[in-house]
Amino acid sequence: MALLNRSEWYDIARDTNWTPSYVGVEDIFPDEMSDAFGLSLDQWNAYDEPFKISYREYVQVQSRKDADAYSVKAALARSNFYDNAHPGWQSILKMHFGALVLLEYNAVIAEAKMARFAKAPGMRNMATFGSMDELRHAQIQLYFAHENVSKSRQFDWAIKCFHTQNWAAVAGRAMIDDLCLGRDAATMSIMLTFALEQGFTNLQFLGLAADAAEVGDYSFSNLISSVQTDEARHAQIGTAALKVLIANGKKEQAQRAVDIAFWRNWRMFMTLTGPAIDYLTPLEKRHQSFKEFVHEFIVAQFERSLEDLGLDKPWYWDLFLRTVDYFHHSGHLELWFVRQTLFWNPSAGVSPPERAWLEEKYPGWGEKWGRMWDVVGQNAIEGRDDKVFPKTFPVLCNVCGTSSGGIPYNGYHQGHWTDHGDGRRYYFCSAPCKWIFDVDPKRYLGHLSITDRLLAGQILPPTVEGALQYMGIHPGERGADADDYAWAHQCAAVSPSQTKVPHGNLATGL
């Protein structure tokens, strides 16, 4: 029997809008679930998804992808790669699985919400496949992580993390609630698919896949490349939605959604991917610096996408470009300092040759962060645990949930805050996070970061140990310096004068 070509039946088959007679359109597609922009079904009918696929084709392609990824894993199962891997790379794997895998499950819900509530039939179609994609990402990555649980309990955080009150989980849930689960389908298509997936996932999934191949972790490299092929498809949902919104006079509102989401994503990716690429990846295997990755995968591509759509760069673009030079250096130092709260073992990544690399990639690094690490290293050598572990927790941003990332020795002070009449002062890491709060304060009012909870008396005893217990991170899971301070001894051997640097104050230096 002759089959029609897909192009001959696709438009009719996917166009499932009809005129309801039992209830009104607004009952089926309420604005708060479907479209905060308030466009009509007719206006959304112009939605033209750039990627058209049938269910039959989808299943065939996906089953091949799964077969490829699982067979590479099976073939390498006895290679003992993990046991012999560089400790920094082991940490990258733990960080990736713990921080991202259950976000994939949240993305299942987000895509399902678009599949149900989007007014455009084409968007519902793409999001149906998107939801199945995300289910695959969650399941396959949990499966890969599980293999290593017997080698380190920290891999258990792949499934555990988002069920805890760990600060990273609190920040991650708050972000995904803000960008996805707490938004209507149209806004979500911009914030999740356009800003996060199209804007940022290439950085984590392609950037890291390249480094994984370099270090010889073909199983992981294949896994995340496989995931990214799905992202590249369903990430196009938002671009097509933006075209409809802009054509119908909603540019300003759409631009605001882009600006909010881009900054929130940037804060998250710089916190995790920045240290992974510039500090945890073994030096001789580094493909590019984080800054080079950001310029290649984010700046150039995102600017082009915005221009093609007729959107502007976010209002804070100049600030964003400046922060590519420093946010993650301060963020990495901060993460290392609170390493007991992490479910991976951060490498300091500042041995003499690594410092030379950092100085080459980020001229002036040594004067700023190198000096800080000198002090940390000296304290580590002297066994001053009172100085290389925090006595309390840092001020966390009331929007992004991460710590403020200033430049050390640069007169940093906590300058972004607002009083909102509810008896609390809300602090922010940066002007854009404060702006996000001010755009719609009721979305964020009342949220308590881990530090806020400590101050509010919710964490007992109100000590670091009490907070670690509260965060669900138990002895045996807590992060420790990946190299047992070997880097500090190497630095001291090369340059004993480093020990003369005056002690900085880490708590306020950031």
Q: What are the residues binding Mn ion (CB under 5 A)?
A: 104, 107, 134, 137, 197, 231
Nearer to Mn ion, 41 or 135 (CB): 135
Q: How far apart are CA 162 and CA 227, in angstroms?
A: 20
User: CA dist 259 to 151, 173, 194, 269, Å?
Assistant: 42, 20, 11, 16
Q: How far apart are CA 327 and CA 348, in angstroms?
A: 16
Nearer to Mn ion, 104 or 259 (CB): 104
Q: How far is the CB of 70 from Mn ion (least distance, A)?
A: 17
Q: How far is the CB of 104 from Mn ion (least distance, A)?
A: 5
Nearer to Mn ion, 107 or 206 (CB): 107
Nearer to Mn ion, 223 or 277 (CB): 223
DSSP assignment of 333-371: HHHHHTGGG-SS------SHHHHHHHHHHSTTHIIIIIH
Q: How far is the CB of 42 from Mn ion (least distance, A)?
A: 29
Q: How far is the CB of 62 from Mn ion (least distance, A)?
A: 13
Nearest to 167 by CA among 396, 332, 414, 447: 396
Cα torsion 391, 396, 401, 405: sign: negative
Q: How far is the CB of 157 from Mn ion (least distance, A)?
A: 18
Q: How far is the CB of 100 from Mn ion (least distance, A)?
A: 8
Determine the 3-state secondary structure of 147 from DSSP: coil
Which residue is nearest to Mn ion, using beta carbons? 137
Tokens representing 426 are 């809300």
Tokens representing 391 are 């006595």
Parallel, antiparallel, or unpaired: how do β-strands 417-419 and 425-427 relate?
A: antiparallel
Nearest to 304 by CA among 291, 315, 295: 295
Q: How far is the CB of 192 from Mn ion (least distance, A)?
A: 7
Q: How far apart are CA 120 and CA 118, in angstroms?
A: 6
Nearer to Mn ion, 116 or 285 (CB): 116
Q: How far is the CB of 272 from Mn ion (least distance, A)?
A: 15
Nearest to 202 by CA among 110, 132, 296: 296
Q: How far is the CB of 383 from Mn ion (least distance, A)?
A: 44
Nearer to Mn ion, 101 or 212 (CB): 101
Nearer to Mn ion, 49 or 483 (CB): 49
Nearer to Mn ion, 227 or 450 (CB): 227
- Whether the bond into 461 is cis, omega within 30 of 0: yes
Q: How far apart are CA 325 and CA 400, in angstroms?
A: 19
- The pair phi, psi for residue 291, each rounded to 5°, is -60, -45
Nearer to Mn ion, 111 or 483 (CB): 111
Half-sphere exposure of 179 (CA within 13 A, CB side): 32
